[in-house]
Amino acid sequence: MRPTTSASSALAVTSGTSAPQAVAERQAAYADADTAGIGVAEGNALRSAESYLRYSEFSKVGLYEQLLYEGYTESESQYGVDNVSADWNQQALGTAESYLAYSGFSAGGLAEQLAYEEFTPEQITYVMNNVSADWNAEAAEKAASYMEYSAFSASGLYDQLIFEEVTPEQAQHGVTSVGL
């Protein structure tokens, strides 16, 4: 005879709560969705959206696409994105600060990366007006990164930094910072 596992005990094992507590929490979530006039799936999409935003920054489009990827329908995903409590400007700023913490960027390169992440032009403007970046230090970091993997002359590195949308002054700072 095969051992059986009840749904409530399986839920308890995966969530770390007691079976009765887990069932009660799930039933309360369903009841909340029902009383709010939304379906269970929409409520789940909203809770998933809230969960994602607790741990990472997303653009509105990026969050929508993540919910689709998780298997929510277009309408469920849209409901989650439209009803999540998010300051999209702060999401954009957090994303920018994460990028700056791990890699050297020019102001233009950062703006392009945020556009690629599908933040709006208004959100990108907000970031560029509020991000705390030392663009000379970013140029120096980018220059050091290039020198780590390739050999450049001073003029070659300068040209590469200009290509990366670093200002001429910042490019010169970057070149000088690596001893060229």
Write down the pLDDT at residue 19: 55
At 32, is the pLDDT very low, low, confident or very high (cuts 50, 70, 90)? low
Domains, the chain, ordered by start = 19-86 (no CATH), 87-133 (1.10.10.10), 134-180 (1.10.10)
At 170, is the pLDDT very low, low, confident or very high (cuts 50, 70, 90)? very high
At 71, is the pLDDT very low, low, confident or very high (cuts 50, 70, 90)? very high
At 38, is the pLDDT very low, low, confident or very high (cuts 50, 70, 90)? confident
Q: Could you tell me which residue, 13 or 166, shows the higher pLDDT?
A: 166
pLDDT surpasses 50 at 54: yes
Chain centroid to Cα 65, Å, comes to: 12
> Of all helices (H) and strands (E), which one includes residue 1?
none
Q: What is the longest distance spanned by two Cα atoms in the chain? A: 77
pLDDT surpasses 70 at 5: no
What's the average model confidence in pLDDT over 91-109? 95
pLDDT surpasses 90 at 17: no
DSSP state of 71: T
pLDDT surpasses 70 at 112: yes
pLDDT surpasses 70 at 4: no
What's the average model confidence in pLDDT over 150-171? 95
Q: What is the pTM of this model?
A: 0.75
Question: How many angstroms separate the Cα of 146 from the Cα of each of 140, 159, 160, 179, 180?
Answer: 10, 12, 9, 13, 13
Are residues 166 and 112 in contact, defined by beta-carbon separation less than 8 angstroms? no
Percent of the chain with pLDDT over 90: 78
pLDDT surpasses 70 at 36: no
Write down the pLDDT at residue 30: 47
Are residues 140 and 179 in contact, defined by beta-carbon separation less than 8 angstroms? no
Which positions ≥6 away from 93 have C-beta within 8 Å?
A: 126, 127, 130, 131
